[in-house]
Amino acid sequence: MKKIVLKSPLDMHLHLRDNEMLEVVAPLSAKSFAGAIIMPNLVPPITSIKDLIEYKERITSAVGSEKFEPLMTLFFKSDYNYNFLKDAKRYIKAIKLYPSGITTNSEDGVSSMDMEDLGETFEAMSELEIPLCVHGESDGFVMDREAEFCLIYEKFASKFPKLKIIMEHITTKKSVELLKKYENLYATITLHHLYITLDDVAGGMLNPHLFCKPIAKRPEDKEALLEVALSGNEKVMFGSDSAPHPQYQKECCGCAGVFTAPIALQALVQLFEKYNSLENLEKFISINAQKIYAFKPIEKDIVLVKRNFLVPSSYGDVVPMFANEELEWDIEY
């Protein structure tokens, strides 16, 4: 039976939520990954060291004996000063900036992208070498939001050249092109944006379980994402943006988020094999992230075998991507 061993796979953009949902989804990521960048957009958001430490403790408790390192982040605030960030640095891997109201639990995000408002915090982060992760969308027409935000990425990257900026869950050809233009721009790419376009979400019967923000785009955008991910390009890394919501909220309220954590590695191996790029998979799911974030993860080998894997209809009350479908690879636990 064909096998592949992935060394210390990492998920560089993960939502674990809190309370009962945390107890359901955290062990699923911990089974497949050595670590993950944990998003801070709880209610209320994680903005203090105390709250961050307590949240990390709840995550560690939820994953139990699994070898898994939560890589913590703070929710960006423009009043973070140098002294606060210096103290916070040993507890965090990055700070996450959300435009206000643009996605789930982002109401306390930044309402102005004016450099004068953000400059002091950005300068401190640059000096302390704390990466900035950004949900890059404007409040314009939904299909144009990421492309419009590219102008802001360019302002950030040019005005703060020493600030390491991660464009989160990019979905457009235009964002891919920015990677070549600025040395300090990097990106995460999700599983679902490598597989789907807007047609899969709304081209036939509406599929609420594939609805996410940023929304899936056009075929040419997906092709650009595939090209840069499959090539092993050192400026991109895997970030699932796995975002669980209870089934009733997805199907009656249309909450944004695709739940991929427990099936991500299986589907990625299938995709990279399809395009004859398995030699670059470990770069995408581990090596590039280690270089970008300048850290060494815990050692953890995940073995995948070439055998059919029937994706469950749900994990708890959360419906995963590819529910009730068969993937070609399975994890050997």
Q: Does residue 260 contact residue 32 with C-beta atoms inside 8 Å?
A: no
Q: Describe the strand order of the beta sheet including 3-7 as a list of residue ranges.
A: 3-7, 301-305, 330-331
Q: Is 241 a catalytic residue?
A: yes
> Please, what is the Cα angle at 233 between 227 and 235, to 5 degrees?
120
Cα–Cα distance measured from residue 196 to residue 1, given in angstroms and rounded to the nearest whole number: 29
Cα–Cα distance measured from residue 137 to residue 172, given in angstroms and rounded to the nearest whole number: 11
Rg (the chain; Cα; Å): 19
Q: Is 212 helix (H, G, I), strand (E, B) or coil?
A: coil
Cα–Cα distance measured from residue 309 to residue 329, given in angstroms and rounded to the nearest whole number: 6
* Strand-pair partners of 167: 134, 187
| Active-site choice (11, 221, 241, 330) | 241
Catalytic residue list: 241
